Structure 1
Amino acid sequence: MKYGGGGYVPGLVFHPTTPDLLYARTDIGGSYRWDAAAAIWAPLTDGFGIRDSSHQGAESIALDPTDDRRVYMTTGVTVSLFDLGRLYISTDRGDNWQRVDLPFPVGSNNRGRAIGERLMVDPNNPAILFYGSRTAGLWKSSDRGQNWQQVQSLASLKMNQSQIDNNSGGTPIGVQQVIFDTATSGSGSATQTIYTAVAPDYVALAGLSHSVYKSTDGGATWTVVNTPVQGYHIPHWVRAQDGMMYVVFTKTTGPGAEGPATLYKFDGTNWTPLKSYEKTEWTSFGIGGVAVSGSGSSTRIVLGITNSWGDWEGKPTVQISDDAGLNWREIGSMTPRIPATGSFTGWLDDIEINPGNPEHVLVVHGGGVWETKNASATKPTWSEMVNGIEETATLSLMAPPSGASYSLLNSSGDIGAHVHTDLSTKPTRSTGHVFANGIATDMAWDTPSYIATIGSAHWGGENKGALYSTDSGATWTAFPSLHPKGLTNQADFSSLAVLKANHVIWAPNNSVPAYTTNNGASWTNSNLPALPDGWGRSYRLAADRKNSNKVYAYDSGGGWWGPTPKFFTSTDGGSTFTVSSQFTSLTARPEFFGSASMAVNPYVEGDVWLVDGHSIYHSLDSGVTWTKLNAAASVWGSNTNSPEVFGATSIALGKAPAGSAYSAWIYLVGVIDGVWGLHRSEDGGNTWTRINDDKHQYAGMGNLAADHNVVGRVFFSGNGRGIFSLTK
């Protein structure tokens, strides 16, 4: 399903000689290759399975200059010695991958994730690769990435977990750059002159004296390079055709690195400042990306200016020079945009010039990629370049009844709540900038034009907490009052359910749910037991669609160490709940809020399905008694507290064909007969069929919602990959 962008793209990598061969890496949502003919980004990591969920982000991508089909990609979302990085190698432009485990961690979603590229291929001998790691110095491979050795002639320090946790907020930066100083390619002999840039944290821990080093013997030995400033980061360093190098020094790491910042040109001996930003009372601009085209006095340079929020005349966003840095002008702020309401500010941490077309400039930001193809214009036109990139983090999904004017309600991190009316286009109905995170959304089943949603505010924005709509999401209004903890307890594991128009029950995290019957004029606490503070603890709520006085609540326990989960039923609109002692006796496993799921059959009163992360449970009497199915099972390893693969994490019920054995088709994310995937049962849970395949696993699937208009259509979220619909 289409949203377009939605998340941070820290890096773009062009092949140096093949026209328009371009790759994008994201921090949590996979990597992409640009299909110029179709004008769409093609996903490259959708075949990653559930065991690859912590490797859905790419820290670096490198291309072989002599073989445009060979691609390297390093993955690992968070720096940790307990989950080391991986190198993926492709010989068909990313359609298929070979995996090599790395001896150091990788952090695609840590601070400084736009720095680099950290991984570089020697253009003269492409069997040689270098990698600037965050925690263990510089590494080299001489066999196309199959084996790696630390370059101990530079430094031998390998951080332990304590050093990792106590440096740069737990996200060390380490070695930032590898630059081959050569004008040749494919000579067969290793490039001899190499530069590397080292971040202040690793300089200090490894006992180094400087931040830049040079080798003239292919990395065997290194000498100090004096730099004009110390204690700064070098997020990008590029070499022009004439050998002149352009190097950015910025005080902080990014995303959205703050200044002071300076761009220097470096001829191997002398450093010459070309552009600087100093802190002022109101601004702290940094320089993120730098790219060059051409050579000599007519070298084109473009800069992405970071921590530069908003759009106003004179604000630096994208700076360009066509005379090797002597003069500069702004080509990003207050320029024509397609779409006209779009913007790109703040996290401009990488910028690129198409090697085959210097008019084509691309810049990243927190929501994707923008491009202009007339960079020489006084006011270039910029267009979003996000077709195919889907990098939203979905927090909840809900499908409406048949006959509603929309197809899906979507609550996602960073982009709020959206109402999808056309699955092929970006939704136009949303909470706009009111919410940063859209947490949960539900509708009145008998009046689906009434929708309620909860969410958290953007930094510095007014926190409205909860909104409602009476026109299917075309407009939104803040509730006149809120749950007593509605503004203080806004974690992603909060929940709400709509029983009917104006009647909503809301469970902020670690709170007693409260309900309103007058559209938020007042809220009354239910009798559900109070929950202690703690990560992942909340009541999951679901309304019975056949009886608007019934609502269900599930306490998953809050984690594997928590108390036995409990199921509750209310028959008076959420005021009084009764616990199911029979469900408690089944000893469902305690788990985090997000590992459990509940679905109510909208065609039969009191027909409730629940998964606790491991098993499937079914009740036909409104949760009084339960049957535990034997279909799903977690895959366990040596850790007895948490499985290697959860057996049942999300469940949904959708429309079934007339005459079906059971009134709804059931969809499950979990493990059936030892195989993880998206499964469907057409006979009430007796038999199951996997309906996805190995090429479409998305490094895990999260929330489910099944369609009530189209038989066999189910909506699901990928791991940082937005929302998909599958009809089968």
Structure 2
Amino acid sequence: MMFGDKFIAHKLSAFIVFLASLITAGSCVHNDGTKAHPYRYNSVAVTGGGFITGLFGHPTEPNLLYARTDIGSSYRWSSAAQQWIPLTDFISEADINLFGTESLALDPSNPKMLYLAQGQYTTSNNTAFFVSDDQGKTFSIYPAPFPMGSNELGRNNGERLAVNPFNSKELYFGTRTEGLWKSTDQAKTWSNITNFPDAFANGIGIVFVVFDPKHNGTIYVGANVPNGIYYTKNGGISWSIVPGQPTTWTDDVLIFANWTPTSPPLSDGPQPMKASLASNGVMYITYGDGPGPYGVSYGIVQKFHTANFTWTDITPALNNSYPPPYTPQAFPRGGYNGLSVAKDDPNTLVVISLDRDPGPAIDSMYYSRDGGKSWKDVSQLSSPPVPDGTWGHPIQEAALKNGTAVPWLSFNNAKQWGGYGAPSPNVGQTKFGWWMSAVLIDPHNSEHIMYGTGATIWATDTISHVESNSAPTWYIQAQGIEMTAILALISPTAGANLLSGFGDINGFRHSDLFTPQPMFGSPTFSNLDCLDWAGRKPNVIVKAGSTGLPFVDACPMAAISTDGGLEWDRFPNCAPMTNNSFQTGGVIAVDASGEHLVWTTGGLLKFRNDTGPYYSSDLGKTWDAPKGLNIGTGNVSSDKVQPKTFYAYDSGIWYISKDGGATYSSSVAADIGLPENTGAVPVVSFKAAGEIWLPLGDEGIYHSTNFGSNWKKIGLDGVSTSMFSVGAPAPGRKNPALYLWGNTTAGADAVTGLFRSDDAGSSWVRINDEAHQYGGPRLIVGDPRVYGRVYQGYFGRGIIYADIDTESHGTVTVRPGTYGI
């Protein structure tokens, strides 16, 4: 990516390409047989699905709210649309590391200004500051001279980035590994503050920067180490350790947290995580024994009086909270992380425990109106009475404010669930949350509180009900946020148009693309790695994934549905080389008849054992190794028309089985017209037996109509693809539409994007644009029933589907240099 001064040229160049594609799209002309249409882009509604790491409200403009996430970048709340608007969908595949927000900052004196610190992993050298003067409608982008880690440990803390309220051009940023930095030109350039103490050798570094808005030159900086809070009163000329900090774990904290010799704190003393400076000069600080978001067992909450440098312990405990903490607590009580203070009352605040789950009691939100002298346990008060202390919302509250249900949040499952934030074991209840590091008391309405979890955003407009020991009314306020990681997609010829597999949250049957759907039933997978459907019986669906369920009575890692994914039956037995030590379900395929299976299990993929995909002709009762294919390859698929037929292409050898995967015949690539290649998953026709495509990266796309006996390269030189799929034919055509993610021309003019061909690959048109790249997809799947529709699975932006825009009539309006919404 180009930055700084070069970014203007980059914007202009991108705009020219973008405008050209739109003009072509808008004219609806034939381009060598492929018609170019305008497209619209929509998210498949899940509503949340991942970790919300920060929530923000501007102090002077009502309803100006933002959310940051670990792998899905940032969003702005639209009060008019009643949904969150994604801000950085223009990020390209080459810049995927920028699709995570390490920290977000608002200019307290200018509600138009927005700053995003972007970078997912410290191992990447691609990090940047996104600077907007129109609330995220457009951005200027500048390189960062240090690494960031929005999806690494400590991402729950903050905020690392802050704007000086006395000088809007000045920003400070606390890094993970490079100390404290300063910008005097609104994040264009940065300089290291070399006189700041070295307190960041643990790889987490500085987790918050807080300017005192009443005292020019006073700044507080917190590093995630014991005794890690520093201050300056002269604008950074000199720095000192804040005196009186809690530096060791006191006996009462250890006893209250169920200390045992086998579970000591991870740190010698409390480590600061979040801080908020109230209008009366009191700074509230949460602490833990580790950076989080997982593994924190001990913590405290402190109140620092900046006027006289005195400290008060305000940790919620037995003697100052109601209802009292659940007893017995079988595990350490966790740390404290989530923190927010009301703008209109410095004594009103909320803090949230971190990683108390399991225990059996889980994390609590505590609310105080007296500066932390006493607390109300909001989680307990909000929960229906249950015998084991697992606080949760009644299932009917898992809905948007307008009543639209978000049913996957209320799933109940066995305790062996392997994903983070295991579901509630209590029927009729969904967990109150986990990883609740993001919480916000609305600056303009203190009754409105939002908190983020590892899955979504909950909200209430009646928090004061807890003062009378009553439950607030809760609802979901995550509509528009889609930040999941997609592992599998299929689009059968009947039933629901789309079925999906997700990281962490199992998968879904999307009978309605606009409305959140229930999660797949048991066996539910923490990661659903693979889906397939039977070509002649499209309601027969198979799935495989990773799970913590025991291998008792039936196989917990794979299942079959005969009603299009509504109900599932486990296979009677798993294939060999399958057990809980493998964190992937492997690759599974079902033949056209729905009666024969092949399964490259996670064990085969890991070790590349000297056997090919195991096969079963009795729907999983028995499994056997095949003959003729003796490597554990994931490049397997089934013919969708001819029963018992499976294909594989691996290490320059083409394989075909016509007896249900029991035996394979093989051909060397050169003998059948293929280039020698490491391999690819064969993509099959849903209409014609034996019609197959092989997307071979820079070597192009190869096509066969005779079961792989002969192959021909399609299209012109320069076609390069990392993902490929087929979909419904264009009107008046019999051949399926083809879709690829990659390039369709060579040389300097090559543009990476999503392309469609209506004429079997002779010509291609781009169907996405510079504003809709989403960091590049992991999967693409054409819809066999809807011409022009292609589903795209992303790491951090869920599922996007592109549809021909039949309502635009070729009219396109675009403003130069505009990205985002």
Q: Secondary structure at the match of 1:397?
A: strand
Pair 1:579 & 2:666 matched: yes
Pair 1:514 & 2:606 matched: no
- C-alpha distance after superposition, 1:379-401 (max 9, x if no partner): 11221111001111111111101
Match for residue 220 of structure 2 among 178, 192, 195 = 195
Match for residue 108 of structure 1 among 139, 150, 153 = 150
Alignment of 1:326-725 (within 5 A): 326-333=373-380, 334=383, 335-336=393-394, 338-339=397-398, 341=410, 342-377=430-465, 378-401=470-493, 404-428=494-518, 430-431=520-521, 434-458=524-548, 464-487=556-579, 490-492=582-584, 494-499=586-591, 500-509=593-602, 510=605, 512-527=612-627, 529-531=629-631, 538-555=633-650, 564-582=651-669, 586-590=674-678, 596-614=680-698, 615-629=700-714, 631=716, 633=718, 647-660=720-733, 663-673=735-745, 674-725=750-801
Match for residue 355 of structure 2 among 307, 315, 332 = 307
Q: Secondary structure at the match of 1:699?
A: coil
Q: 1:101 to 1:488 in 2, by over 3 A?
A: same
- Looking at structure 2, the residues matched to 493 and 125 of structure 1 have their Cα atoms a distance apart, in angstroms, of 54
Q: Secondary structure at the match of 1:389?
A: coil
1:527 deviates by: 2.5
- Looking at structure 1, the residues matched to 292 and 179 of structure 2 have their Cα atoms a distance apart, in angstroms, of 20
What residue in structure 1 maps to residue 325 of structure 2? Answer: none
What residue in structure 2 maps to residue 145 of structure 1? Answer: 187
- Looking at structure 2, the residues matched to 388 and 588 of structure 1 have their Cα atoms a distance apart, in angstroms, of 44
- C-alpha distance after superposition, 1:114-170 (max 9, x if no partner): 11110000111111100000010000001111110011111479x9xxxxxxx75xx
1:34 deviates by: 0.6
Letter in 1 for 2:742: G
1:433 deviates by: 6.8
Q: CA RMSD in A?
A: 2.5
CA contact (8 A) 1:546 1:602 kept: yes
- Looking at structure 2, the residues matched to 63 and 485 of structure 1 have their Cα atoms a distance apart, in angstroms, of 52
1:617 deviates by: 1.9
Letter in 1 for 2:479: N
- Looking at structure 2, the residues matched to 385 and 21 of structure 1 have their Cα atoms a distance apart, in angstroms, of 14
Match for residue 69 of structure 1 among 102, 106, 112 = 112
Q: 1:461 to 1:358 in 2, by over 3 A?
A: farther
**Of the two structures, which has the highest relative contact order with CA contacts closer than 8 Å and spacing of 6 or more?**
2
1:523 deviates by: 1.1
Letter in 2 for 1:139: W
- Looking at structure 2, the residues matched to 488 and 632 of structure 1 have their Cα atoms a distance apart, in angstroms, of 45
1:345 deviates by: 2.3
CA contact (8 A) 1:71 1:89 kept: yes
- Looking at structure 1, the residues matched to 137 and 167 of structure 2 have their Cα atoms a distance apart, in angstroms, of 24
- Greater share of residues in strand: 1
CA contact (8 A) 2:739 2:754 kept: yes
- Looking at structure 2, the residues matched to 138 and 175 of structure 1 have their Cα atoms a distance apart, in angstroms, of 7
Letter in 1 for 2:704: S
What residue in structure 2 maps to residue 225 of structure 1? Answer: 242
- Looking at structure 2, the residues matched to 299 and 602 of structure 1 have their Cα atoms a distance apart, in angstroms, of 64
- C-alpha distance after superposition, 1:411-456 (max 9, x if no partner): 1111113211111112225136721000111122222222110011
CA contact (8 A) 2:331 2:359 kept: no
Letter in 1 for 2:564: S
- Looking at structure 2, the residues matched to 687 and 490 of structure 1 have their Cα atoms a distance apart, in angstroms, of 43
Q: 1:493 to 1:84 in 2, by over 3 A?
A: farther
What residue in structure 2 maps to residue 641 of structure 1? Answer: none
Q: 1:528 to 1:72 in 2, by over 3 A?
A: farther
- Looking at structure 1, the residues matched to 60 and 543 of structure 2 have their Cα atoms a distance apart, in angstroms, of 50
Q: 1:459 to 1:478 in 2, by over 3 A?
A: closer
CA contact (8 A) 2:120 2:152 kept: yes
Q: 1:461 to 1:252 in 2, by over 3 A?
A: farther
Q: 1:455 to 1:481 in 2, by over 3 A?
A: same
TM-score normalised by length of structure 1: 0.87
Letter in 2 for 1:451: I
Match for residue 98 of structure 1 among 135, 140, 157 = 140
CA contact (8 A) 1:598 1:650 kept: no
What residue in structure 1 maps to residue 425 of structure 2? Answer: none
- Looking at structure 2, the residues matched to 603 and 648 of structure 1 have their Cα atoms a distance apart, in angstroms, of 23
- Looking at structure 2, the residues matched to 603 and 513 of structure 1 have their Cα atoms a distance apart, in angstroms, of 25
CA contact (8 A) 1:304 1:350 kept: no
What residue in structure 2 maps to residue 262 of structure 1? Answer: 300
CA contact (8 A) 1:360 1:372 kept: yes
1:495 deviates by: 1.2
Q: Secondary structure at the match of 1:623?
A: coil
- C-alpha distance after superposition, 1:93-130 (max 9, x if no partner): 11111111111000010011011110000111111100
What residue in structure 2 maps to residue 125 of structure 1? Answer: 167
What residue in structure 2 maps to residue 188 of structure 1? Answer: none
Q: Paired residues, what number?
A: 668
CA contact (8 A) 1:539 1:554 kept: no
- Looking at structure 2, the residues matched to 41 and 651 of structure 1 have their Cα atoms a distance apart, in angstroms, of 31
Match for residue 183 of structure 1 among 193, 214, 231 = 214
1:255 deviates by: 1.2
Match for residue 323 of structure 1 among 365, 370, 384 = 370
CA contact (8 A) 2:600 2:613 kept: yes
Q: Which moved more, 1:576-585 or 1:431-440?
A: 576-585
CA contact (8 A) 1:418 1:431 kept: no
